[in-house]
Structure 1
Amino acid sequence: MKEQVILTRFDTENSRERGQSGQPSGQPGFTLLEVVIALLIVATVLVSLLGLQARTINAADRQQKLTMATMLAQQQMSETELNYAANQSGDEGTFEPPYDNYRWQVEFNTTPLAAVREVTVTVAWGEAGSNEDVTLTSFLFN
């Protein structure tokens, strides 16, 4: 008598589409693993986008303060040039509201030419001693 060998073949291609009985269920769908991987990818992208948005907001805020400080420094330089004859010594202070969080400082320095003085206007903002400032330099003639 001959022995018969029965081989069972597993069809891995259609295993997703089979129901509990092993027969195709006819309902296409995703496996739990595919859903979890897709959610991980979406979560990673969202976290990256939120971080990018926060950096963009901080950069825009810094640019706004830098632009305002530059305009205030130009204003202070103009006032210094207009009042140069009356005040040739350094001075400092704060701007009036709504710009009272900006501080200004005017310094006069001598140059090799007796009739020319160097004037430096610095406008700073933020905590005292921070590196957030704008400096303008000009030369005034007597």
Structure 2
Amino acid sequence: MKRSRTGFTLVEVIVALALVGTALLALLSSVSTAVRAEAVYSRHTRAVFLARQKLEQVGRQETLTPAHMEGNFAPDFPNFDWQVTIESTQVPGLYKVSAQVSWMEGQNQRDVQLSSCVFRN
């Protein structure tokens, strides 16, 4: 009498588990990389927002004089520092305003700098 064998052999199961394990490791690595990238982009986006906010604050001032100011966004965003520079130009009443926001990312300092022109009579 001939016996019919159905099912998987031990070798087939081990190979299948190895393939599934490799696929899961690749997937987890991709997810980890995506999460890190999202955190980096989130901080960069926040820095751009904060720099725009500083430019708008300066733009709302009634009078402008050349100056350099700096500070920190504490208590809301204590990890972000700012610098604002107001410079006169050759055109009377026209000022160049630059806002730089910097933060630490690991051991590296990152920054974003935005500039705008503001006219005052």
Shorter chain as denominator, the TM-score bin is: 0.7 to 0.9
- Alignment gaps of 5+ in structure 2: none
Q: If the length of structure 2 is used for normalisation, what is the TM-score?
A: 0.83
Q: Could you say which structure has the higher strand fraction?
A: 2
**Aligned partners of 1:136, 1:113: CA distance in 2, in Å?**
20
CA distances 1:67-120 after superposition (whole Å, capped 9, x unpaired): 221221111111122336265301111012221111111123343324322111
Structure 2 residue identity aligned to 1:40: A
Larger Rg: 1
Structure 1 gap ranges (5+): 1-22
Distance across 1 between alignment mates of 2:11 and 2:101: 58
Provide the rounded CA distance (Å) in 2 between the counterparts of 1:129 and 1:34.
47
Partner of 1:122: 100
Q: State, as a whole percentage, how many aligned pairs show the same letter.
A: 31
**TM-score of the superposition, structure 1-length normalised?**
0.72
Could you say which structure has the greater relative contact order, defined with CA pairs below 8 angstroms and 6 or more residues apart? 2
Contact 2:100 2:112 in 1 (8 A): yes
Matches within 5 A, 1:1-142: 24-83=2-61, 85=63, 88-126=66-104, 130-142=108-120
- Partners of 2:9 and 2:105 in 1: how far apart? 55
